[in-house]
Structure 1
Amino acid sequence: MADPVAAVAALDEPNRRKLYDLVARATCPISKDEAAAAVDLPRTTAAFHLDKLVEMGLLTVVHERRTGRSGPGAGRPAKLYRRSDEQIAVSLPDRRYEAASHLVTDALVEAEQTGEPARVILNRRAYEWGADLAGQAAEADASRGPASNRVTEALARFGFEPLAEGGSILLRNCPFHSLAHRHTELVCGMNLCLISGLLDGIEASGVTAHLDPSPGHCCVRISQAPSSRSPSVSR
């Protein structure tokens, strides 16, 4: 998947947008010849824009034989285009409401199955997800670098917009902003466990996450601590 902002920006070109809309509405994959004829473009121009949409992750290429024949003499499969199965969303500032909905839904389903309190499950799953995100961050930053850099880079990658201030790291953005306003205790508790899992996952010793709400910032603050400790995920 290309950068989602770049993918959306690619549709600002009028001919590219026409081609995308054409392919998206089609009931079956279409060829570049069909696309060019439908939007009245030269074949080479249509092919260029279609392949750019594939590069951006908006379309997918499939190869099929339109003749219905197979085996020797059936000819080469045609290169066809269809809409990608990828979902592209752009939010400025960065918001992760779909991720929150999956966490909450999974917690409710598990609670019904096990009888364990849903909030306990939610916090545990958030912590585990944070640890998984730490693994992704480590893969993206093979150098590993200083611990302080790994903390801020991992938080920035998830959209928290970290800002070092004295011995603390303030988070200028909450990916669950509107949810936190409506369900502050639930969502901030989930957020604390997520960030704590992230910190433990990148082995960020000497810092700890705690709730410290302030206007214009995420409810979680990261501060220096004598020793790192995991949060209670049962709160």
Structure 2
Amino acid sequence: MNKSTRLGPAPWRASDETDQAPAERVLAALAEQAGPVTTSELVDVVALHANTVRAHLQELTAVGLVTMETLPPAGRGRPAHQYSITDQGRAVPRVNDPAFAEYRGLTTAFATHLAARSDDPSDEARDIGRAWGRHLATGEQTASEERTASDDKAASEEQPDGADPTRLVMRLLARLGFTPVPPAETSPGEGIALRTCPLLELAEEMPEVICQVHQGLVEGALDQYGSGATDVDLQPFVEPGACRLHLRDNRPTG
């Protein structure tokens, strides 16, 4: 099968710090700041030329990973700007993210173990995925509470997202390297496209384990986020360039 018709997502490639792209360095530096920072402050952190940092901030702002705020004028010259990372930006997986590294390492270990000792490991893999999803979602909630508690403005901005388990799950999946893309408003039945997979090689080798772990992970996270009444249907390798994730509310209507 040629690459143009290959079914399923692309592999997610983590960059080492030594070959990290400048835009990734800027985004990672913003994620470590306690509050908004100016371009000059970021230059001191990332050790890049001011024009380079400014260009990457514009790029990151354009795609929604960073927000820009214009500061009140202070004398002559251009008004200064300060920048903050958004929730979407925080969700971008990084090679030094403990949750991302732990997820990849542990999933690889127990998937290999299950595949070797069980004739039908799917149910056990899904149970493990549920437990892992609840664990990761708990960590996400704790981190979010700590951020919002230290910044009243951020708390008011994050509240709508906090009430939407689907968006929280997408944020978690993005952090783990799945590159989730929501369906178009005109075609909600298409489900969420998962464009990359952090364990693609293993998923192709043992889909009955890895894909069931991923389905269980979403189920466990939704349960932790307070949306246990959601049916999860992960369709792996269903189309060129993506797996599909369908989330359907199973609560009775009327």
TM-score (norm 2): 0.45
Q: Which has the higher contact order (CA 8 A, sep 6+)?
A: 2
Which has the higher Rg, Structure 1 or Structure 2?
1
**More helix by percentage:** 2
TM-score (norm 1): 0.48
